[in-house]
Structure 1
Amino acid sequence: MKIAIQGGLGSFHHQAASMLFDGDSYEILDKDHFRGVAEALVKGECTYGLIALENSIAGCILPNYNLIKNNDLKIVGELYMPIEHHLMVIPGVKIEDLSEIYSHSMALLQCEDFLNQHPKIRRIDYVDTANSAKKIKTEDLHHAGAIGSKVAAELYGLEIINPAIQSNKDNFTRFVLLSRELPDNQDFNKISLRFSLPHQKGSLANILMQFAVHGFNMTKIQSMPIVDMPWQYEFYVDVIVHNHERFAKVLDIIQLMAEDIEILGKYKNGNL
């Protein structure tokens, strides 16, 4: 079994894959960009793809919603993982020696408070956290540091000089496991939907009311602009499903009210 992830060995995606498939035999297919993960799935190069979808500090990774939609991918699992970011360097290097810090754009954003305390250090948006650490080590950069995980520091022999520098110590990232098809079994308690609505007063409120009156809890709603349709939006909704039959009836009602509705995922709720 092959799992495509964004980032290399020691990345947070790699750690998330290890947690989701603990005890299973699998091979990691590392990609530099989220797009590469989606392409690997579409081409049949892997069984699953794993991508981050949102973070409790930085918010949603909106382009990844489009990746899921445009490549007709399905969510079959999720994981909420606590994230700790550490500043790592070649052993012996001090923060006063640094003129650059490398990391993934989302990691840099999650550590903005710390970075703002060091305005003279330039932030370099790199492919991912683990490869940032690898670059520091392989190129023996004494003027640069990397932001990444403890695993990455250990893997590449770097010294952590500032631990846990994320802006909020309760920092979580939601990872979703992607497949080309929805599972056949009924072993799920969470569903992800995508739909658009007619441009009418109260259309969204009417949809949300259906979930409420039938006792279903929404854990997320995300709006996205529709390309080539200015000021028109589609909505991504996650719902906890405790009764499959009752939810099927709600879905029948919603299909009469919404446009272009699609089930994007069926999976077990990955509670915090």
Structure 2
Amino acid sequence: MELSEIRKEIDAIDAQLLPLFIRRMDCAKKVAEVKRRDGTPVFNLEREQEILNRIAAQAGEYGGAARIVYNTIMSESRALQHTLLGAGSRLRTRIAAAPEAPRRTAAIACLGGKGSYSHDVVSQLYPQAVPSFFSRFGDIFRCVEQGEADLAVIPVENSSAGSVSEVYGLLMQYCFSIIAAKTLGVHHCLANRTGKFEDIRCVRSKDIALMQCSQRLAALQVPLSDSSSTSAAAELAARDAGVAAVCSESAAKAHGLHILERDIQNTDNNATRFVVISKELCIPRTAEKISLCFNVPHTTGSLNAVLSRFAAAGMNLTKIESRPIAGKTFEYDFYLDFTGNVHDPKVLELLCSLEDELPRFHFLGNYCECK
């Protein structure tokens, strides 16, 4: 057969499949009405697994592919049922009540000290705020929880060194919301008190900053030591002539250090993404980024089924990664970012259906990426 003939046959088969798919989705609407009447949950894991196992067995050599296709169909059927049944009432209420901006921005908690990269972000986003400096992320979250700070600025990922794992765990622990984000170009310098390379006995900085400058630091052939922040390293270097700090130029100047070398990071496009966290959910009307955290059932194709919902709704995923759940054995939360606004009905229905269906679901926020 010629390729054109085979394609005609495929088109003819597709013409038969599509009406059947539409009929099946129409049946899902009827199922929703029965479940509404009887108070039956939308998701029936046992029945779905029975169907998928049967389909895979009947499909023979195409069993795996058939399982994925039917898993996606059933996932979309559930999504339709959730929409018809008004899923996610709790999330809808939270979103409807969310103000566009935080009520107070006078006190902002952040990592490090004067001149740290976190401090730079605070100064850019909230120039009138009074910063509170901390050496540990846990202390920053507790400060916001206890009302000692209105908001906090936290680094969440770096273009070279990856995500800051501890922050994601704390976001789930405290159930805080992300209300804004900003990506800052990070330009590290090497600085010390004397201005002489020969005085350097060790180099100190935040572990992630040392990673970002690993190539240049290896050439110095001196020990490297971790500090709680880049600005804390600058403070140590100001007290000890044998210590050089990897820090920002502003931190070096704040602590009276001499800059020995600028832009020592491994890549020219080194950048860190910071988020602003709050106890209160705030959603600006122009928000364009959404962050979620969720867990999926331990069944074949469960994550694929969730991600297919985003594709079906035309959502662009910008990040997904997993983190182990504390106290669980090989169970993971998935952190996901995608572009969208909760005032778009398609987005809201997607989120509400996932909240009702997934075993763990946390809407982290809908916010703007500040320039």
TM-score range, shorter chain: over 0.9
Higher relative contact order (CA closer than 8 Å, sequence separation 6+): 1
In terms of fraction of residues, the more helix-rich structure is 2
CA 1:71–1:20 in 2, change beyond 3 Å: closer, same or farther?
same
Residue 134 of structure 1 aligns with which residue? Answer: 235
- Asked if 1 retains the 8 angstrom alpha-carbon contact of 2:291 and 2:337, the reply is yes
- Asked if 1 retains the 8 angstrom alpha-carbon contact of 2:284 and 2:368, the reply is no
2:202 partner amino acid? E
Residue 290 of structure 2 aligns with which residue? Answer: 191
Q: Is 2:371 the partner of 1:268?
A: no
Q: 1:150 offset after TM fit, Å?
A: 0.8
Once residues 254 and 58 of structure 1 are traced to their aligned partners in structure 2, the CA distance between those partners, rounded to angstroms, is 31
- Asked if 2 retains the 8 angstrom alpha-carbon contact of 1:210 and 1:254, the reply is no
* Aligned 1:13-52 pairs, distance under 5 A: 13-22=118-127, 25-52=128-155
Aligned length: 265
C-alpha deviations, 1:166-225, integer Å up to 9, x for none? 111110101010000111654422111111000111111111111112111111111011
* Aligned 1:32-181 pairs, distance under 5 A: 32-93=135-196, 95-119=197-221, 121-137=222-238, 139=239, 141-181=240-280
CA 1:92–1:248 in 2, change beyond 3 Å: closer, same or farther?
closer
Identity of aligned residues (%): 31
Q: Is 2:111 the partner of 1:6?
A: yes
Once residues 268 and 249 of structure 2 are traced to their aligned partners in structure 1, the CA distance between those partners, rounded to angstroms, is 15
- Asked if 1 retains the 8 angstrom alpha-carbon contact of 2:212 and 2:266, the reply is yes
Once residues 295 and 137 of structure 2 are traced to their aligned partners in structure 1, the CA distance between those partners, rounded to angstroms, is 25
Q: Which moved more, 1:240-249 or 1:1-10?
A: 240-249
Once residues 198 and 92 of structure 1 are traced to their aligned partners in structure 2, the CA distance between those partners, rounded to angstroms, is 57
Q: 1:270 offset after TM fit, Å?
A: 4.0
Q: What secondary structure does 1:216 align onto?
A: coil
- Asked if 1 retains the 8 angstrom alpha-carbon contact of 2:195 and 2:260, the reply is no
- Asked if 2 retains the 8 angstrom alpha-carbon contact of 1:197 and 1:257, the reply is no
- Normalization by structure 1: what TM-score? 0.93
1:38 partner amino acid? F
In terms of fraction of residues, the more strand-rich structure is 1
Once residues 176 and 185 of structure 1 are traced to their aligned partners in structure 2, the CA distance between those partners, rounded to angstroms, is 15
Q: Is 2:315 the partner of 1:216?
A: yes
Gap regions ≥5 residues in structure 1: none
Once residues 136 and 182 of structure 1 are traced to their aligned partners in structure 2, the CA distance between those partners, rounded to angstroms, is 40
Gap regions ≥5 residues in structure 2: 1-105
- Normalization by structure 2: what TM-score? 0.69
Q: Which moved more, 1:217-226 or 1:1-10?
A: 217-226
